[in-house]
Amino acid sequence: MTGAIEEAVKHCTQREQFGRSLIKHGPVATLLADSWSDLESSRFLTYQTASLAIDDPAKILINPLLQNLPQQKLHVGSLTDVCRQWADGD
pTM of the model: 0.64
DSSP states along 51-71: HHHHH-THHHHH-GGGTTHHH
Residue 5 is predicted with a pLDDT of 78
- Structural domains for the chain: 2-88 (1.20.140.10)
* Per-position pLDDT tens, the chain of length 90: 677 778 888 888 888 888 898 888 888 888 888 888 888 887 887 787 778 778 777 777 777 766 666 666 666 667 667 766 666 655
DSSP H helical ranges for 15-63: 26-55, 58-62
Residue 17 is predicted with a pLDDT of 82
